Amino acid sequence: DPRTTMIARKMTWDDDATDIANFDQEVIDRDCWGALEVTGYKWSMLERNEWMRRAQALDKVNAGLKKQLNSCYRKISNAEDKLRNLRLEKKGLLNQIEDNKLRLIPTIARQQ
């Protein structure tokens, strides 16, 4: 039924003409609608096609933004990893300094 069937595909302006031609043939084959119904449905079909085009354009824009967002997440994750490593390195260096101080105290005590 042309009223309910919507094939998921990329919409182009040529699809409007194709959809209307297919719909006209369906109406002729079934001989089921009046002129007002046919005209009304054609306008709704064109409107639906326009909304499909807009939705696809937004999907493309959003796909680009999602890529950028994922890139930001990766950069943040990498920066967090580097920060974690630097904190570990700092902790190790502070421990080394503390160990050296503890070793130095007995040496100083013996010299005095």
Selection from 1, 8, 10, 9 nearest residue 41 by Cα: 1
What confidence tier does 87 reach under pLDDT thresholds 50, 70, 90?
very high
Q: Mean of the pLDDT values across residues 13-21?
A: 67
Tell me how far apart the 2 most distant CA atoms of the chain are, in Å.
115
Q: Is the pLDDT of residue 15 over 70?
A: no
Among 10-19, 47-56, 80-89, top mean pLDDT goes to: 80-89
Q: Where are the alpha helices (DSSP H) in the chain?
A: 13-30, 35-111
Token output for 89: 């390195």
pTM above threshold 0.75: no
Q: Is the pLDDT of residue 31 over 50?
A: yes
User: Measured between alpha carbons, how far is 9 from 56 in angstroms, rounded to an integer?
Assistant: 10
User: Measured between alpha carbons, how far is 24 from 26 in angstroms, rounded to an integer?
Assistant: 5
> Which sign does the torsion angle of CA 85, 86, 89, 95 carry?
negative
Q: Is the pLDDT of residue 111 over 80?
A: no
Q: What mean pLDDT value characterizes the chain?
A: 78
User: Measured between alpha carbons, how far is 36 from 39 in angstroms, rounded to an integer?
Assistant: 5
Q: Mean of the pLDDT values across residues 42-66?
A: 82
Q: Mean of the pLDDT values across residues 30-52?
A: 73
Token output for 66: 């999602």
